[in-house]
């Protein structure tokens, strides 16, 4: 019977088909016909006999309440016979017919808010329900938020949009947009191409461009912390699912999902509604819509439950990759296997990904029409042991398309940020007893076990605070990086990026150095940092004393301040010098020509070297040029490097002479300048720089 009725109506030439009680409202039929003729006159495509629009009585309920007068999706309108308010159903029919005509004419090119504004302007509702004045700033901001994430309009944002249309009008031409309203709603920081690069070790900022502050939904990039929160999973299979951004298969693993891990990984994001919901809801009570939020999709209310700025997002991804590194190896196939999100992109842009051995993941947020709102692209490299992590963002494009512009940036980074120069290992508080200092969290941290009984500790923000009670040690210091501990916990090695390390060494060794002299010393510090693991073979690291380079971290939390950058040409020069001179370490010191003298009582010296009796001290220069100190005991002799000896006694430099004053029970040490007196003298570098000498010339002079 339904099919027979439909056929009769189509034969009668109806372009609007009314059903149920609405079929007995002749005024609706007249109003609809008039609205279609007006739309046709404006140039819109309207329903036809062969492709009519159907109008059904609306059913009130949870999804369609008395506050709604009509609803629409392509080809179908839902309409209340007795809508609340002063407007009759004819007004709301016109509103929904504009949606239908806009869909047929504009093919989804307009954003949702513009489609709604066109319907408000055409319907006549502003005449029957006049609005008072322009929207307030708070109303406008609320509307901007809905527009920014492509969410449906709630009552407050609809009211604000109605006020804008009432004040500024709306263009009558098909698919037109009011430039005045668009300008008011546009996010001033939300255009263009933005990116951030951080050290995956330290979490410190290495490079950035564009908008780092505005928060956006990460889309499918949220699948990264979701995957890291799975307590058990086949890593290879998860890698394939992430490459294809396969929501169904990933959510099929939700039985292994750990809310606690997810909350830890995303804790760096402030005011994240999803994290708050996790705290008060049991997993067993989550429905399918709630689960889909964990992989970046909208909440049932139409908003995104998780938004982050580029800095926050990069730290969430960093923590995820550090928590379960082996789970993400498969992301190196993204772009090179059919079905992966980057596979359709041009090969010329993906070549850099293969060269870097990069892990890649895309994330896109779209409006209800499928129009991209924001696209993100994560790139971390190298696959085997990621040291660098970048996030690229473009507005109005999908995540994969970012590779077209990101490839040029990655190409430039490939020479500056290489695996060979991406890490410094330095043992912390190497001259103080382990019981005299403790590591405190600045932000949430977790410890991960490694082969051989070692453990690695990392924090979500990358930083730690160290508090020391050792005599002569800085009481508080901040360090950035991973903390690796051996099985007994005595030796703690910080893994950090070279630039952050150089900042801290400069602050300890030559705080007042400036200009070309500082550039020269910084290059020597970075070169030693990335090449100096041989200095202490037991930990494959540098120490933090004068034997290597003095490293005390920072005396305050330096978060948010990007480190300085070392001149790459100077590092290239030092590579040449080291090869030519067969050097594996570039010495430097404070230098200077001022003499010094220090007296240490016999009793104090015995305590410093932890011996009951010291008969004699003798200084020796070996054939290699190294200075050694012999300590003579009643039954033995100890031979130590002068650098180790002077560090223990806190002497300004290796002493030129050592004398015993038996009458006063005192050892007398005399020397010149500060430091070891070899290589780059900070004092000489300062003098040369003041006379106009370049950093490269200073280094050539220092290392001959």
179-201 tens-digit pLDDT: 999 889 876 555 579 999 999 99
**pLDDT attached to residue 345:** 97
**pLDDT attached to residue 108:** 79
**pLDDT attached to residue 652:** 83
Give the C-alpha distances (Å, rounded to integers) separating 129 from 86, 87, 120, 182.
7, 7, 11, 23
Question: Strand 588-589 vs strand 476-480: parallel, antiparallel, or unpaired?
Answer: unpaired
If you search the block for the tokens 């070692």, which residue do you land on?
454
DSSP string, 347-391: HHHHHHHHHHT-EEEEEEEE-TT--EEEEEEEEEE-TTS--EEEE
**pLDDT attached to residue 362:** 98
Query: Which pair of structure tokens corresponds to residue 262?
Result: 């997810």
The per-residue pLDDT for range 516-556, each reduced to its tens digit, is 999 999 999 999 999 999 999 989 999 998 788 889 998 77
Q: Count of CB atoms within 10 A of residue 145's CB?
A: 14
Phi then psi for 601, rounded to 5 degrees?
Answer: -60, 150
Q: Which residues on neighbouring strands pair with residue 454, listed in sequence order?
A: none
Residue 592 in this model has a pLDDT that exceeds 60: no
**pLDDT attached to residue 691:** 95
> How far apart, in whole angstroms, are the C-alpha atoms of residue 65 and residue 191?
37
Domain 193-420 carries which CATH code?
A: 3.40.710.10
Q: Count of CB atoms within 10 A of residue 100's CB?
A: 25
More confident residue, 53 or 648: 53
**pLDDT attached to residue 111:** 85
Contact between 589 and 676 under an 8 Å Cβ cutoff? The reply is: yes
**pLDDT attached to residue 10:** 41
DSSP 414: H
Q: Count of CB atoms within 10 A of residue 90's CB?
A: 21
Q: Which residues on neighbouring strands pair with residue 638, listed in sequence order?
A: 631
If you search the block for the tokens 């079905």, which residue do you land on?
339
The distance from CA 679 to its chain's CA centroid, rounded to whole angstroms, is 39
Which of 133-147, 412-426, 463-477 tops mean pLDDT? 412-426
If you search the block for the tokens 């050792």, which residue do you land on?
470
Residue 138 in this model has a pLDDT that exceeds 80: yes
Q: Which residues on neighbouring strands pair with residue 54, listed in sequence order?
A: 17, 76
Question: Strand 53-57 vs strand 16-18: parallel, antiparallel, or unpaired?
Answer: parallel
Mean pLDDT of the chain, nearest integer:
88
Give the C-alpha distances (Å, rounded to integers) separating 263 from 328, 460, 640.
19, 11, 51
> How far apart, in whole angstroms, are the C-alpha atoms of residue 305 and residue 469?
45
The SS3 call for residue 184 is helix
DSSP 59: P
* pTM of this prediction exceeds 0.75: yes
Question: What angle (nearest 5°) sits at the alpha carbon of residue 644, between those of residues 638 and 646?
Answer: 105
**pLDDT attached to residue 555:** 77
Q: Count of alpha carbons within 13 Å of 621, Cβ hemisphere only? A: 6
Give the C-alpha distances (Å, rounded to integers) separating 517 from 204, 461, 549, 578.
25, 32, 17, 20
% of the chain residues with pLDDT over 90: 60
Residue 8 in this model has a pLDDT that exceeds 50: no
Rg for the chain (alpha carbons), in Å?
Answer: 35
Contact between 296 and 217 under an 8 Å Cβ cutoff? The reply is: yes
Contact between 513 and 521 under an 8 Å Cβ cutoff? The reply is: yes
More confident residue, 317 or 85: 317
Residue 120 in this model has a pLDDT that exceeds 80: yes
**pLDDT attached to residue 23:** 84
Q: Count of CB atoms within 10 A of residue 467's CB?
A: 13
CATH code 3.40.710.10 region(s) in the chain: 193-420
More confident residue, 652 or 1: 652
The per-residue pLDDT for range 51-92, each reduced to its tens digit, is 999 999 886 544 444 345 578 989 999 987 765 555 678 888
Contacts of 624 (CB under 8 A, 6+ apart): none
Give the C-alpha distances (Å, rounded to integers) separating 125 from 52, 54, 71, 327, 555.
24, 22, 15, 55, 64
Contacts of 97 (CB under 8 A, 6+ apart): 16, 32, 35, 36, 39, 46, 53, 77
pLDDT band, very low/low/confident/very high, at 107 (cuts 50, 70, 90): confident
The SS3 call for residue 649 is helix
The SS3 call for residue 199 is strand
Cis bond before residue 382 (omega within 30° of 0): yes
DSSP string, 507-527: HHH-TT--HHHHHHHHHHHHH
Phi then psi for 437, rounded to 5 degrees?
Answer: -145, 155
**pLDDT attached to residue 699:** 95
% of the chain residues with pLDDT over 70: 90
> How far apart, in whole angstroms, are the C-alpha atoms of residue 236 and residue 551?
41
């Amino acid at each position: 019977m339904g099919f027979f009725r439909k056929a009769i109506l189509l034969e009668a030439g109806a372009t609007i088909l009314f059903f149920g009680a609405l079929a007995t409202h002749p005024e609706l039929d007249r109003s609809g016909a008039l609205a279609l003729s007006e739309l046709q006159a404006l140039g819109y495509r309207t329903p036809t006999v062969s492709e009519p629009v159907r109008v059904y009585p609306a059913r009130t309920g949870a999804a369609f309440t008395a506050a709604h007068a009509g609803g629409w999706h392509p080809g179908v309108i839902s309409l209340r016979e007795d809508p609340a308010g002063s407007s009759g159903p004819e007004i709301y029919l016109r509103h929904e017919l504009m949606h239908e005509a806009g869909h047929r004419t504009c093919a989804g090119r307009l954003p949702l808010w513009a489609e709604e504004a066109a319907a408000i302007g055409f319907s006549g509702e502003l005449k029957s329900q006049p609005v008072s004045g322009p929207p307030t700033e708070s109303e406008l901001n609320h509307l901007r938020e809905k527009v920014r994430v492509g969410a449906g309009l709630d009552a407050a944002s609809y009211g604000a949009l109605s006020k804008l249309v009432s004040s500024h009008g709306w263009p009558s031409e098909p698919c037109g947009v009011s430039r005045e309203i668009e300008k008011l709603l546009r996010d001033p920081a939300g255009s263009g191409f933005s990116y951030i690069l951080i050290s995956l070790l330290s979490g410190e900022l290495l490079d950035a461009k564009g908008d780092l502050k505005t928060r956006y939904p990460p889309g499918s990039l949220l699948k990264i912390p979701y995957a890291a929160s799975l307590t058990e999973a086949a890593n290879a299979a998860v890698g394939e699912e992430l490459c294809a951004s396969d929501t169904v298969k990933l959510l099929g693993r939700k039985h292994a999902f750990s809310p606690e891990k997810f909350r830890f990984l995303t804790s760096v994001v402030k005011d994240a509604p999803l994290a708050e919901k996790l705290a008060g809801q049991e997993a067993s009570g989550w429905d399918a819509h709630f689960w889909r939020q964990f992989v970046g999709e909208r909440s049932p209310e139409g908003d995104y439950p998780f938004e982050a700025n580029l800095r926050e997002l990069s730290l969430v991804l960093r923590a995820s990759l550090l928590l379960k590194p082996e789970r993400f190896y498969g992301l190196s196939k993204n772009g090179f296997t059919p079905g992966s999100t980057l596979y359709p992109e041009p090969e010329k842009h993906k070549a850099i990904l293969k060269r870097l051995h990069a892990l890649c993941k895309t994330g896109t947020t779209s409006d209800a029409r499928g129009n991209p709102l924001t696209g993100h692209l994560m790139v971390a490299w190298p696959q085997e042991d990621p040291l660098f992590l970048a996030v690229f963002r473009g507005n109005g494009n999908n995540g994969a398309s970012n590779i077209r512009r990101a490839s040029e940036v990655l190409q430039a980074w490939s020479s500056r940020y290489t695996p060979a120069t991406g890490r410094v290992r330095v043992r912390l508080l190497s001259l103080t007893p382990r019981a005299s200092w403790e590591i405190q969290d600045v932000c949430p941290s977790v410890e991960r076990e490694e082969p051989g009984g070692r453990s690695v500790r990392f924090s979500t923000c990358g930083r730690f605070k160290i508090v020391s009670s050792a005599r002569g040690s800085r009481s508080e210091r901040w360090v950035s990086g991973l903390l690796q501990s051996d099985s007994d916990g005595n030796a703690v090695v910080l893994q950090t990026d070279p630039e952050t390390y150089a900042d801290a060494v400069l602050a300890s060794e030559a705080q007042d150095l400036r200009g070309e002299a500082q550039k020269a010393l910084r290059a020597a510090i970075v070169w030693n940092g990335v090449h100096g693991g041989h200095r202490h073979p037991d930990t494959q690291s540098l120490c933090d004393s004068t034997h290597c380079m003095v490293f005390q971290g920072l005396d305050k939390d330096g978060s948010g301040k990007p480190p300085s950058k070392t001149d790459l040409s100077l590092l290239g020069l030092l590579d040449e010098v080291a090869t030519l001179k067969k050097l594996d370490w570039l010495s430097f010191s404070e230098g200077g020509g001022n003499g010094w003298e220090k007296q240490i009582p016999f009793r104090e010296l015995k305590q410093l070297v932890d011996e009951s009796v010291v008969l004699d001290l003798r200084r020796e220069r070996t054939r290699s040029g190294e200075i050694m100190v012999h300590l003579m005991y009643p039954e033995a002799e100890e031979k130590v490097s002068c650098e180790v000896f002077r560090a223990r006694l806190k002497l300004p430099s290796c002493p030129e002479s050592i004398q015993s004053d038996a009458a006063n029970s005192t050892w007398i040490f005399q020397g010149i300048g500060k430091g070891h007196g070899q290589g780059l003298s900070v004092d000489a570098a300062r003098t040369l720089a003041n006379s106009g000498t370049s950093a490269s010339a200073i280094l050539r002079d220092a290392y001959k």
